[in-house]
Amino acid sequence: MPVYHVGVISVGIIGASGYTGAELLRLCARHPDLHVELATGDSQAGNAIADVYPSLAAGYRDRRFDRYEHGVADGLDLVFLGLPHGASQAIVPELRGRVAHIVDLAADFRLKDAALYSTWYHDAHTAPELLADFAFGLPELFRPTLQGAELIAAPGCYVTTASLALAPAIRAGLVEPTGIIVDAASGVSGAGRVPKTTNAFCTVDEDFTAYGLLNHRHTPEIEQVLSTGRDGSATIRAQVLFTPHLAPMNRGILATCYARPTGTLTTDDLLDHYRAFYADEPFVVVDSRSPSTKATLGSNSAHLTVRVDERTGWVVAIGALDNLTKGASGQALQCANLALGLDETTGLDAIGVYP
């Protein structure tokens, strides 16, 4: 692995004009070792970054969004892809070998089974030969595969929340891996920056609705994570019924997950297990308090709790995080730090903004 020096790691963000791209720009601006040399956003090409996102003015006073062209990223140390699903499949084959590390925030290379893309995304994968080369970017569960990785597929916000909430119990065999229920709610920024009737103010305000019933595309991703051990090998076959909801808030994910215990458990036992599982994790808080999205705002942290309901025989695991930080761009940066051999926490906050 190359030895990098402070402030000289060159970074490109392809798809920097969307919400995840803007969050990457924010995080990279305060990272002591990264320097953004390329920030493409074809829909905003030529426009000042600070005009589109005034919050970034102090870090990008005179910068404008670039247009993506073949070869524009050549020689960069690190490239983040913040593109709509499908676009990375066309770009990664030409980028690989021309840049040192690629972290993709889309779903293009998350699933290991190429056939699942036809089933859940309704399109055949165009670069299936690369799927096995991507490390799955959830450090708390797969850190060994991320250290020094060339190619990383960062998971989605729903997947991160549900997986962190369920994995400790599943890996220890404390709950059944099948018959799991995940009910999760996301802020509107999870739908992206492009205006749609479903994310317009008058649609979302004073409303709370479920969508993607029985067929949301993140379902196989959650199942893949929960079926996989720390070393990346499949150990069990998990099955999840996942129902996402849209909540009238800007940012945040709250996932309430239900599973059946395999034996006798108490809430104290389970909390102790979760605390031990995540004891060395800087971005995971395990507490008896019920997590809230507001508590994670702007941070790279996930807040978790668990309960055993002896009356009904269910285990309840709850997780909350900021969908644009730990659920997307912050986690991508956390993975990049690992790939580059930097301290994993560099440039990231564990403490949220309140109120």
Per-residue pLDDT tens for 35-58?
999 999 989 999 999 999 999 999
Neighbours of 230 (CB within 10 A): 14
Gap between the Cα atoms of 41 and 22, Å rounded? 10
**Concatenated DSSP letters for 254-300?**
EEEEEE-BSS---HHHHHHHHHHHTTT-TTEEE-SSPP-SGGGTTSS
Give the position of tokens 């595969």.
145
Tokens found for residue 157: 């916000």
Instruction: Kindly list the catalytic residues.
Output: 157
Gap between the Cα atoms of 148 and 226, Å rounded? 24
Gap between the Cα atoms of 266 and 141, Å rounded? 24
pLDDT of residue 231: 80
Alpha-helix runs per DSSP H in 110-253? 115-120, 139-146, 157-171, 201-204, 219-226
Give the position of tokens 């891996």.
177
Neighbours of 12 (CB within 10 A): 25
Q: How far is residue 284 CA from its own chain's centroid?
A: 14
Gap between the Cα atoms of 296 and 285, Å rounded? 10
pLDDT tens string, the chain, 355 residues long: the values are 555 545 589 999 999 999 999 999 999 999 999 999 999 998 999 999 999 999 999 999 999 999 999 999 999 999 999 999 999 999 999 999 999 999 999 999 999 999 999 999 999 999 999 999 999 999 999 999 999 999 999 999 999 999 999 999 999 999 999 999 999 999 999 888 887 888 888 899 999 999 999 999 999 999 999 999 888 888 899 999 999 999 999 999 999 999 999 999 999 999 999 999 999 999 999 999 999 999 999 999 999 999 999 999 999 999 999 999 999 999 999 999 999 999 999 999 999 999 9
pLDDT of residue 7: 58
Whole-model pTM over 0.75: yes
Tokens found for residue 201: 């103010």
Which domains are present in the chain?
9-133 (3.40.50.720), 158-322 (3.30.360.10)
pLDDT of residue 180: 98
Contact 80, 38 (CB under 8 A): no
Contact 85, 106 (CB under 8 A): yes
* φ, ψ of residue 51 in degrees (nearest 5): -75, -40
pLDDT of residue 1: 52
